[in-house]
Amino acid sequence: MDTTLEEARWRVYVIRCGDDTFYTGITTNVERRLRQHQQGTGAKYTRGRHPLQLWWVSSLMNHQQALVQEWQIKQWSHAEKEALQNGSR
């Protein structure tokens, strides 16, 4: 699948929450989105689960690819998401 530079602006990200759960999402600006989660204006899931730690970020891809990868990661076990940080997954 060819992705032009204009289309390739999306990233999948995984946040590790203070209760040892993971939140997976997509964005075009990881720093802004993490700040929203930390301020309580991001996803409802991350509210009250502080502290939040950015666990993993994908390379750039188009929107459709990001949606597919986000869905795939959401199907993974806790251990598989933990393995993202050391590159095992």
- The rounded distance, in Å, linking the Cα atoms of 22 and 83 is 12
Q: What is the pLDDT, as a whole number, of residue 5?
A: 57
Q: What is the pLDDT, as a whole number, of residue 39?
A: 96
Q: Nearest 5 degrees, angle CA 13-CA 67-CA 47?
A: 45
Q: Determine if the pTM surpasses 0.85.
A: yes
Token duo for residue 46: 């991350």
Query: Which tens digit of pLDDT belongs to each residue from 29-86?
Result: 999 999 999 999 999 999 999 999 999 999 999 999 999 999 999 999 999 999 998 7
Q: What is the pLDDT, as a whole number, of residue 87?
A: 76
13, 16, 85, 21: which is closest to 52 by C-alpha?
16
Q: Which domains does the chain have, with CATH numbers?
A: 11-83 (3.40.1440.10)
> For residue 2, what pLDDT band results from cuts at 50, 70 and 90?
low
Token duo for residue 3: 């992705």
Beta-ladder partners of 53: 16
Q: What is the pLDDT, as a whole number, of residue 85?
A: 86
